Every structure is written in C-alpha cells, then in structure tokens.
Structure 1
C-alpha cells in the first residue's frame, strides 16, 4: 500500500471517526435534553410535593383551630343553655318572694296558686309533661315500682298508687314515677 492509499485510508477512518463522534455528540445532546426534562419534571414534582405539604399543614392548623373553636362554642352553649328557661322562671321566683312577704294567709294562698299556674305553663311550654300512672298498666320505661300489693279490684301489673310524680321532657323520661303496683299472689 502506498502512502497515498494509507493517507486516504487514514482520512477515511478520520472522517468515519468524526461522523461517529458527531453521532455520539448528537446522542449525548438528546440524552442531555431528556435528562434535563426529567430533572425539570422532578423539580416540578418536588415543588408540587412542597405545595401539598404546605396545604396539608395549613389544613391541619385550620382543623385544630376549628376543633378548639367548636369545643369553646360547645362549652359556652352548655354554660348558657338554661339561660332562656331561667329568664322565664325568674318572674315566678320574684312572685314567690312577693307572696312570702305578704302577711295575709288568704292572699298568700291565692298568690301561690297563681305562681303555681304560671310555673306550670312555663314548664309545659318547654315540653315538660307529667306521666300519668294511677289505673295504668305498669311500664318499666316510665315507672319505678317501690311497693307491691295484692288487690282484688285491679288486674295484675296495674298501678295502684302514685307515690312520687314522674315527668317527660318531650318524649324522654327525665324523672320516673314512683308507684305501688298490683301483684297477684
């Protein structure tokens, strides 16, 4: 092989290497661009994660504040829940005071009767109802049996006598009637 052929071969090899290097450079550029896209995606996702984390922390703080505010509101509500009822009863309370200050027993009795009617009206207006007992069938959900007695005049399980009154507030029993019940031997 001559020098010319050798130089030509070297030139061809050099051109082939340059072409390969250029292809590799292009591949590297493509890979760099893809890598940069992945880095950008990761940074975006990291920023999203930080944003979500901040949002969760704010929501947790808001929830804690809401919880504290709700507990405070419930405590306030419980503390002043009876305010309306007490305001209604205050007039009756003052009427009792005035009735006790009177010196005439007839006026006292009339005053107490008026006060009793006012108080009854207020309590019934709030949903208080007296439980009816005498002559009724014993109901353990409304009555508490304190005594039993055998009686030929009544059926077994009939309430013979009311020993203490019972009451419901709307449909809930708040004080059971204490009763004497007929129990056949």
Structure 2
C-alpha cells in the first residue's frame, strides 16, 4: 500500500514537472512573440519618424530654395533701383545745367539787336527807336517763358505779394492802398521770383 502511494506521488511529481515545463515553454514562446511584436512596432515607429523627418527636410530644402530666390529677386530690385536713382540724378543735373539754354539763346538775339542798334544808330532818335524795338522784343520773349509783372497800381497792399519800402499819407488813396511803385516785381506762372517794392498809403 505504501509502495503504491509512493508510486502515485512520483507520477504526480512527473506530471507536475511536465506541466511546469510546458507552461515555461509557453511563457517563453509568448515572450518571444511579444518581443517580436514590440520590435515590429518599434521598427514601424522609427520608420514613421524617419518618414516625418524626411518630409521635414524636404520642406526645409524647399523653403531655403524659395528664400534664396526671394533674396536674389530683392537684390535685383535693389540694383535696378540704385541704377534708376543714378540715372534720375544725372538727368536732374543735366536739366539744371541746361535749363536756361533756350532762354539765353532768345535773349542773345535781343542782345545782338541792341548791339547793332548802338553801332548803326547815327542819331539819338534812331537809337531810341532801336532800343524800344529791342525792349518790346525782349519783353515778348520773357512773357513766352511765363514771366508776368505783378500788378501794383490801384491795388491794396498784400504782404504776400508786395514789399513796402515806405508809407505816406495821401488824400487820393485809401488806407493800405499802394500809392506808387518804386521797383517792379515779377512772377513765373504762380511763383513770385521778385517782389515789387511799393509806397503804401497810411492814414
């Protein structure tokens, strides 16, 4: 009876050992499977990150290329602007330098007429007539260039248009009215280039 129990215990121990071995094998197998899955998941994550990194690098490269194009375009614009600026300055200098060329040519014509009148006139009357003709011609030339006399006769004194040299009392004029003109004044179009000097009535 004792031998039989002993035998049963031994059989049970063997079965237990076999069961434990099977369980251990299953655990190891599961661990291998889990490790394999973890590795695959890790590889997929790494691949995903590499793909994202690659796309980011492509975006960076594209932006760098666009940046270079923009900088190049701006540099060309800057160069064009500088060249245009220099050209405008040259033209401005030329305009200032030769602005009065045509006017001087027109005045030279009157100057030569005056010279001829002086040389050819035999009497004071002839000289006067020649000078009056030249004066009329010169005045016409200046008027064509936009020159106008600033009116003063019968005008009320305006400090924006007239320069008062002196004041005087006059029964024939209103207070502030210009009595007479001491020196003429002129304007080109709407710009005063020489103020008329006047005497103003003050009561």
Q: Determine if the TM-score, normalized by the shorter chain, exceeds 0.5.
A: yes
2:151 to 122, 127, 132: 132
Residue 27 of structure 2: aligned partner: 9
Q: CA deviation at 1:16?
A: 2.0
Q: Provide the C-alpha distance between the structure 1 equivalents of 2:201 and 2:88, rounded to a whole number of angstroms.
A: 51
In 1, distance between residues paired with 2:81 and 2:185?
44
**Alignment-derived partner of residue 58 in structure 1:** 76
Structure-2 residue corresponding to 1:92: 110
After TM superposition, give the deviation of residue 116 of structure 1 in Å.
0.9
Farther off after superposition, 58-67 or 141-150? 58-67
**What SS does the aligned partner of 1:45 have?**
helix
Tell me how far apart the structure 1 counterparts of residues 177 and 23 of structure 2 sit (CA, whole Å). Answer: 132
Distance across 1 between alignment mates of 2:94 and 2:100: 11
- 5 Å matches for 1:106-117? 106-117=125-136
In structure 1, runs of 5+ residues without a counterpart are none
Q: C-alpha displacement at 1:123, in angstroms? A: 1.0
Separation in 2, partners of 1:87, 1:49: 57
In the alignment, the residues of structure 2 paired with residue 131 and residue 37 of structure 1 have an alpha-carbon distance, to the nearest angstrom, of 78
1:30 is paired with a residue whose SS is helix
Could you list the runs of 5+ residues in structure 2 that have no partner in the other structure? 1-18
Consecutive aligned runs of 4 or more in structure 1 exceeding 3 Å deviation: 1-5
Match of 1:145 in 2: 164
Query: Shift in Å at residue 32 of structure 1?
Result: 0.5
Instruction: Give 1 or 2: higher helix fraction.
Output: 2
Distance 1:23 1:135 in 2: 106
What RMSD in Å do the two structures reach over aligned CA positions?
Answer: 1.7
Alignment partner of 2:100 out of 82, 86, 96? 82
Count of residue pairs the alignment pairs up: 184
Distance (Å, rounded) in 2 between the aligned partners of 1:44 and 1:127:
62
**Match for residue 155 of structure 1?**
174
1:164 to 155, 166, 183: 183
In structure 2, how many angstroms separate the alpha carbons of the residues matched to 1:143 and 1:129?
14
Aligned mates of 1:135, 1:33 — CA distance in 2? 93
Separation of aligned partners in 2, 1:155 and 1:123: 33
Larger radius of gyration: 2
Is the partner of 1:179 in helix, strand or coil?
A: strand
Measure, in 2, the Cα distance between the counterparts of 1:127 and 1:103. 32
Could you state the TM-score of these two structures normalised by the residue count of structure 2?
0.82
Residue in structure 1 matched with residue 4 of structure 2 by the alignment: none
